[in-house]
Structure 1
Amino acid sequence: AVTPPQIKRNVASEITSVGKAIYEARWDDKHTTTQQIGSMSTRSQSEANGEQDKNTKDTEMIKSKRDQMRDNMQDYIFTRYFNYVKNYDKVLEKNFPKAMQLYRVFFDGVKDFFGDMKRFLKIARIANDAPQGIRALNRQELELYMQMPRDMWKVAPALIGCSLPMVGYAFFPLVFWYPRIFLTSHFWTGQQRNDFQSHFMKRRLQCNKPVFRCLQAKLKSLKTHHKHDEFQSILGQLGSGTHPTAEALIAVKDIFAEGPYSLLGMSRKHIKCLVKLHGLPNSLFKRHRLHEHAFLVHYMDLAIMREGGVHNLRTDAMRYCCYLRGLNPDNLSREEMIEWLRNWVKVSTSIQGEHITLFLHLPILLAYNHPRNWKTIYCKKTD
């Protein structure tokens, strides 16, 4: 039998509708399940991420604490090490006091020595470039200009020996064992300066009598000189324990211009005694040394007058001026030093170049019988 087309069409439509409904129902269930599973997995992942972030934060916190502790420990160790190095000289001074004292004296001495050496080079440049030469220098510059070359020659072996490898370890103690021989006043302590100055002063003053005997021995050869009697009277005063006045010495200055009292006329023994009397180094050119020394001290006297006179000097400078000119300044009052230096400067500024040997004999003519010099020579201890 033939099925009517209308029925076929309705059945197919129903089947199609039912299938569509079933399909849609299944799709919705599947989609809902997928969404639920997705949401569950998202929550699980977020929870896992949260726990991971929490663990990461805890780890970073622990790590930061460790870094902070490490930094604090490094700062502490560095601070302690820095303070230890900074105060290491105190540690050495506590454990090795004598060695550190020698080190400080040597270090300060080298610093002072090189400071004076730079000043000397500057002064020498001024003396060479100035139209007036060394006359353009003041008293302090002249003193350094005269003393520094001697100090450089004296201390050179010590500085060179201490800087040599291996040799320096043995030479350094030797230098400080004999500081008076190898070192200069830059490296001496205050007590050493006083002791060594007294030693050098006594050694110089021990030449007073030989120089005085040389003056007496040559007096007979000057009988024809018009100043013979006056100078004989001056030597008589020295022999009797007194000193001539500055005016009396200026009056007989011509007797030193020529003859046996001139620089070229004096005997070798006389020259040698004068070199020792003025504390000059022993060398082949003794007459040249004496000539140079006399003019330098003479220019110092002129500088003193330019700077206002003897009374304007400081006490320590005044003591050094007396020491340089042959008078022991120990226990002398300021007034006594001023009086003696004024007589010296008065004679020094009244003579010319041809009277240079009168200047060289002023330590005898003005200080031979001074009580301080006699006590220095003949007493074991000065008062």
Structure 2
Amino acid sequence: MALALRVARFGSIPANCWPRDRRRLLHLCSSASDKRQTAFCSRNYATKPEAAAPPQIKRNVAAEITSVGKVIYETGWDANKPIEKPKMQPSSSSCPPPPKKPDDEKRKDLDTLKSKRDQMRDNMQDYIFTRYFNYVKNYDKVLEKNFPKAMQLYRVFFDGVKDFFGDMKRFLKIARIANDSPQGIRALNRQELELYMQMPRDMMKVAPALIGCSLPMVGYAFFPLVFYYPRSFLTAHFWTPQQRSEFQSYYMKRRLGNNKDVFRCLQAKLKATASHPKHSAFANILGQLGSGTHPTPEMLIDVKDIFADGPYSLLGMSRKHVKNLVNLHGLPSSIFKRHRLHEHAFLVHYMDQAITREGGVHNLTPDALRYSCYLRGLNPGGLNSEAMIEWLRKWVKVSTSIQGEHITLFLHLPILLGYNHPNNWKTIYGKCPT
């Protein structure tokens, strides 16, 4: 193209310049044709073509860099910013997008799904717990069917523990009332006084059994041992009705076995009271007991002063006499026997006063009558309610007519009112007195 431009330029030149320019033009044409032929030959026949040198291009590098930076600044391009893909324009032939639901409908749908899930979860939980509780309830029946004796012992022990802890809570409440009240123990009623007197003994008796059964490894061997000797390790809370009757008869017989020893101690100290104004009256009472009869309550009230001091007082009695009285009342043996006798006498005395406040002996239930007779030294086995009421009225009459200094008279009432009772005599000797 450069050659054609030159030819055109030469065509416009004047004639006088043509020879000189013609020679130059011919020289250029010949050199161009030689170069083209040489390149063609080298391209067709050369075994190893030589790489053509790249054209030398002169650039203004500073200007190019400046222009590129200007473009980047104007477009706001950032290398850390993620590249956004161009959004495709929906074609006219595609389906129109579905209409969007409002937010309220979406919330309702979500709430419906959540409520269904919660309802399913609640139904599953109710089903699982119902099946579990039914299995536990029926499991007792399965064990009772396969192991009747073991389940009977288990039920007795479980019910005993429940009754024991119930009485213990009542005892703590009663003890708090007795300590806070200005009247003290006298503010309690008959049932509260009975529990207040009996519960400490039961707690001391059953504590080793409960502790032994609760131990991890010892409990498996200690539990059968406890039920093999229920009279020694357990209290009335854990006994069956048959065991209660048997054990009460056993303890009653053991207590009544001390009647004769106490009576002999009274006879032995009779001469020491020869100077007392009531000596002859009391000697007459002892004679009645020896002959198989009992003195009346009025006779006992008349001789109450003989027990205020002297050999029949609490501090004047011999150790043997005190020990026999402790065994007669069924008290646990300890070092402070006189203190135990003093405490026991006043508790029973307050019970008698409570019976009087509550309307009298005839208002007691049959179970309360039997327990009251058992506590005071009369075997209630085989006695009807009238016989028990009659005997308890005599006891309460004497008990409510004495004061604190006559405490030993109260302690000897089981002998003075029940020594020759047919029921006691039969319990000791197996036959009624002749």
TM-score (norm 1): 0.79
Match of 1:176 in 2: 227
Distance in 1, matches of 2:297 and 2:257, equals: 24
Which of 291, 294, 311 pairs up with 1:260? 311
Match of 1:237 in 2: 288
Match of 1:286 in 2: 337
Distance in 2, matches of 1:109 and 1:341, equals: 30
Distance in 2, matches of 1:271 and 1:297, equals: 18
Match of 2:275 in 1: 224
> CA shift at 1:76, angstroms?
9.0
> CA shift at 1:378, angstroms?
1.1
Distance in 2, matches of 1:75 and 1:311, equals: 55
Alignment of 1:133-144 (within 5 A): 133-144=184-195
CA RMSD of aligned residues (A): 2.3
3-state DSSP class of the match of 2:359? coil
Distance in 2, matches of 1:276 and 1:162, equals: 30
Structure 1 88/234 Cα, relative in aligned 2: closer, same or farther at 3 Å?
Answer: same
Structure 1 263/97 Cα, relative in aligned 2: closer, same or farther at 3 Å?
Answer: same
Distance in 2, matches of 1:90 and 1:380, equals: 47
Distance in 1, matches of 2:275 and 2:227, equals: 56
Match of 1:35 in 2: none
Decide whether the 8 Å contact of 2:425 with 2:431 is kept in 1.
Answer: no
Alignment of 1:357-372 (within 5 A): 357-372=408-423
Match of 1:203 in 2: 254
In structure 2, runs of 5+ residues without a counterpart are 1-92, 96-119
Deviations 1:162-221 (A, max 9, x none): 001101111100000000000000000000000000000000000000000000000011
Match of 1:57 in 2: none
Counterpart of 1:97 in structure 2: which amino acid? Answer: P
Alignment of 1:12-23 (within 5 A): none
The share of aligned pairs that are identical, in percent, is: 84
Greater C-alpha Rg: 2
Counterpart of 1:243 in structure 2: which amino acid? Answer: H
> CA shift at 1:86, angstroms?
2.3
In structure 1, runs of 5+ residues without a counterpart are 1-38, 43-67
Deviations 1:21-79 (A, max 9, x none): xxxxxxxxxxxxxxxxxx9xx9xxxxxxxxxxxxxxxxxxxxxxxxx9xxx99999987
> CA shift at 1:105, angstroms?
0.6
Counterpart of 2:255 in structure 1: which amino acid? Answer: R
Structure 1 372/77 Cα, relative in aligned 2: closer, same or farther at 3 Å?
Answer: same
1:302 aligned onto 2:321: no
> CA shift at 1:81, angstroms?
5.8
Match of 1:379 in 2: 430
Distance in 1, matches of 2:137 and 2:283, equals: 70
Which of 83, 90, 94 pairs up with 2:134? 83
Compare the two structures and name the one with the higher helix fraction: 1
> CA shift at 1:107, angstroms?
0.6
Distance in 2, matches of 1:252 and 1:314, equals: 33
Deviations 1:262-285 (A, max 9, x none): 000000000000000000000000
Distance in 2, matches of 1:290 and 1:368, equals: 19
Structure 1 residue ranges (4+ consecutive) displaced by more than 4 angstroms after TM superposition: 72-82
3-state DSSP class of the match of 2:211? helix
Which of 103, 106, 109 pairs up with 2:157? 106
Match of 2:379 in 1: 328
Counterpart of 2:211 in structure 1: which amino acid? Answer: I
Deviations 1:105-130 (A, max 9, x none): 11100000000000000000000000
Structure 1 77/202 Cα, relative in aligned 2: closer, same or farther at 3 Å?
Answer: same
Match of 2:238 in 1: 187
Distance in 2, matches of 1:289 and 1:135, equals: 18
Distance in 1, matches of 2:431 and 2:165, equals: 36
Counterpart of 1:269 in structure 2: which amino acid? Answer: K
TM-score (norm 2): 0.70
The one of the two structures with greater contact order (alpha-carbon pairs below 8 A, sep at least 6) is 1
Structure 1 75/357 Cα, relative in aligned 2: closer, same or farther at 3 Å?
Answer: closer
3-state DSSP class of the match of 1:87? helix
Distance in 1, matches of 2:270 and 2:381, equals: 34
